[in-house]
Structure 1
């Protein structure tokens, strides 16, 4: 299944449950919760839990975007267009933009 189709399915699932009409503040907390679960699984070396949390994190982001009227795919495309030609270097596992080095 294509990524765009999966996004549509998540959006439909959320709408069927009325999540598109709920408070985005609560969804923001859910995003933070899933992020915490992802890092906890990473730190404990629990790969299956980590994979589950990454998926859950995407679902919560898609629902947040639905609530806020934000196009999730466009956000990803915009972010990539910003980084695709970015120069810099990786220091201690973290990418540093060229303009932040100079």
Structure 2
């Protein structure tokens, strides 16, 4: 299933369960729980659990965006446009944008 089809599925799935009208604060807590599970799976090297957690994060984040009146696709598009011409440097495996680099 293509990503757009998955987003449409999640949109309908959450609406059918009334999650689209849920409390975004509670959904944010759910999202953070899922991120915690990903961190645990990462630390323990459980690749299957990592994959499951990434999927759960995607679902929780999609529903959170929906509850906040945002389009997940729109948010990702905005981020892609923002980073498309970003310059910086990778230090110890982490990209640091140019504006955050200092001349210490």
The TM-score range, normalised by the shorter chain, is over 0.9
How do residues 17-56 of structure 1 correspond to structure 2 at under 5 angstroms?
17-56=17-56
User: What is the CA-CA distance between 1:61 and the residue it aligns to?
Assistant: 0.6
User: What is the CA-CA distance between 1:4 and the residue it aligns to?
Assistant: 1.1
Equivalent residue number for residue 2 of structure 1: 2
- Please tell me whether residue 95 in structure 1 is matched to residue 95 in structure 2: yes
For 1:9 and 1:73, the matched residues in 2 are separated by 13
- Structure-2-length-normalised TM-score: 0.94
Aligned length: 102
SS at match of 2:96: strand
User: What is the CA-CA distance between 1:99 and the residue it aligns to?
Assistant: 1.6
Off by >2 Å, runs of 4+ in structure 1? none
User: What is the CA-CA distance between 1:49 and the residue it aligns to?
Assistant: 0.2
For 2:73 and 2:6, the matched residues in 1 are separated by 11
Structure 1 gap ranges (5+): none
Structure 2 gap ranges (5+): none
Equivalent residue number for residue 12 of structure 2: 12
- Structure-1-length-normalised TM-score: 0.96
- Please tell me whether residue 72 in structure 1 is matched to residue 72 in structure 2: yes
Aligned-pair Cα RMSD in Å: 0.9
